[in-house]
């Protein structure tokens, strides 16, 4: 699996952004779990697991940056030089990131289409994971598929916004729209460090919009 | 024209009407207060019993329903639940 091309000046920002992504996705997952404890609805349970999976996907990237990536500025990346065979760890963590993110996004799509048929979920997981794991250009394939999935999710939230024209539904729609553009730009991040920087920044804006919505919900 | 009530709103209306009654509430009164058909009321009451929001009691005059602690908690947190689920398109 290839790795992203990140400009040196953006490495530490990337790390900070990932921490924000983990906190926001964990927050949404936890709150969804809390609401599900009261309402007990399959859709909520799936939504909570989806964000948990995305959260763990970002945790994998943080672990990779902290312990494996030699480009990290604050020292821990240097462990790679000390530990023999770390390249395979990089591969494992990149794959784990892609698998967890893909499962999370597929679950979100499954939740939005309200299919309630586990066979459809299994099919969706298989047709997205197999190309990611078995193509030589996995990062490219992962972001290409993630672009399609987030486009689908963003459209669902556009419909939801049309149904309930409120500030909060607009925030969620915009949040996922930014995530869609982020994944689209990250498709090119293997060759162009600027795509990575802009993609990650759009991703940050997307998650901050989702966080704003969550904050507004909690204020009620 | 007013939009069709959402599921969460119907559950809220049923629980609120039960909460307002001093002792347990009869199903016909719930049906009237929550503005539901007989069939819909049966379905919702079944669901609310399964989710432990209400308890059913039988006495000489028939069935009555009262709120459980979980039912009270749902009413307390309704705005929050509704807002979360609506914004994320989960209902």
How confident is the model over A102-135, as pLDDT tens digits? Answer: 999 999 999 988 877 889 999 999 999 999 888 8
Give contacts of A 143-162 with B, CB under 8 A. 156-157, 159-160
Judging contacts by C-beta atoms under 8 Å, the chain B residues touching residue A40 are 51
Q: Looking only at Cα atoms, what is the longest distance across chain B?
A: 46
User: Is B76's Cβ below 8 Å from some Cβ in A?
Assistant: no
Q: What's the structural domain count of chain B?
A: 1
Residue in A with minimal Cα distance to B73: A38
Q: What's the confidence (pLDDT) of residue A74?
A: 42
ipTM of this complex: 0.82
Give tens-digit pLDDT for A138-192.
888 999 999 999 999 999 999 999 998 999 999 999 999 999 999 999 999 888 8
CA distance A80 to A77: 6
Q: Please report which confidence band the pLDDT of residue A71 belongs to, taking 50, 70 and 90 as the band edges.
A: low
**B4 and chain A in contact, CB less than 8 A:** no
Q: Which of A35, A156, A171 sits opposite B89 (nearest CB)?
A: A156
The percentage of chain B sitting over the pLDDT mark of 90, rounded to a whole number, equals: 46
Task: Report the gap between the CA of B79 and the closest CA in chain A (Å).
Answer: 6
Beta carbons of A169 and B70 less than 8 Å apart: no
Top mean-pLDDT range of A15-19, A61-65, B5-9: A15-19
Q: Which residues of chain B make contact with A214, given a CB cutoff of 8 A?
A: 84
Residue A75 has pLDDT above 60, yes or no: no
Contacts of A168 in chain B (CB under 8 A): 83, 86-87
Tell me which chain A residues have a C-beta less than 8 angstroms from the C-beta of B8. 39
Is B51–A39 a contact, with Cβ atoms under 8 angstroms apart?
yes
Give me the CATH number covering residue B75: 1.10.10.10
CA distance A58 to A10: 17
d(CA A177, CA A196): 17
Residue B73 lies in a domain: yes
Q: Where are the alpha helices (DSSP H) in chain A?
A: 11-39, 42-63, 79-82, 86-113, 118-134, 138-163, 167-186, 193-219
Give bridge partners of residue B66 from the DSSP assignment: B55
Per-residue pLDDT tens for B16-59?
999 888 778 899 999 988 888 999 999 999 999 998 999 998 88
Q: In this structure, how many other beta carbons lie within 10 angstroms of the beta carbon of residue A41?
A: 17
In a domain, B76, yes or no: yes
- A169–B contact, CB cutoff 8 A: yes
Domain ranges for chain A: 8-219
Query: Is pLDDT at A69 greater than 80 in this prediction?
Result: no
For residue B57, the distance in angstroms to the closest alpha carbon of chain A comes to 22
- Phi–psi pair at A156, nearest 5 degrees: -60, -40
Let me know if residue B2 belongs to a domain.
no
């Amino acid at each position: 699996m290839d790795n992203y091309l990140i400009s040196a000046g953006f490495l530490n920002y990337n790390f900070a952004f990932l921490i924000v992504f983990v906190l926001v996705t964990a927050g949404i997952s936890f709150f969804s779990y809390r609401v599900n404890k009261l309402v007990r609805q399959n859709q909520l349970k799936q939504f909570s697991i989806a964000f948990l999976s995305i959260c763990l996907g970002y945790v994998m990237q943080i672990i990779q940056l902290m312990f494996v990536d030699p480009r990290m500025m604050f020292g821990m990346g240097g462990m790679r030089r000390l530990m023999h065979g770390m390249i395979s760890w990089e591969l494992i963590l990149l794959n784990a990131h892609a698998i967890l993110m893909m499962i999370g996004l597929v679950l979100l799509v499954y939740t939005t289409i309200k299919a309630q048929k586990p066979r459809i979920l299994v099919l969706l997981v298989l047709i997205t994971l197999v190309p990611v794991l078995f193509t030589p250009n996995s990062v490219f394939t992962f972001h290409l598929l993630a672009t399609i999935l987030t486009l689908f999710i963003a459209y669902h939230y556009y419909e939801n916004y049309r149904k309930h024209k409120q500030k909060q539904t607009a925030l969620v729609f915009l949040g996922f729209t930014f995530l869609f553009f982020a994944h689209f730009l990250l498709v090119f991040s293997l060759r162009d460090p600027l795509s990575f920087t802009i993609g990650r920044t759009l991703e940050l804006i997307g998650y901050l919009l989702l966080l704003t919505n969550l904050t507004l919900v909690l204020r009620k | 024209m007013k939009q069709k009530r959402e599921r969460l709103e119907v559950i809220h209306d049923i629980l609120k009407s039960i909460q307002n009654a001093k002792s347990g509430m009869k199903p016909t009164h719930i049906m009237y207060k929550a503005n539901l058909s007989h069939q819909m009321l049966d379905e919702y009451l079944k669901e609310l019993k399964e989710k432990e929001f209400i308890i059913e009691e039988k006495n000489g005059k028939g069935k009555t329903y009262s709120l459980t602690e979980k039912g009270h908690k749902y009413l307390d947190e309704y705005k929050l639940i509704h807002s979360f689920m609506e914004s994320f398109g989960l209902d």
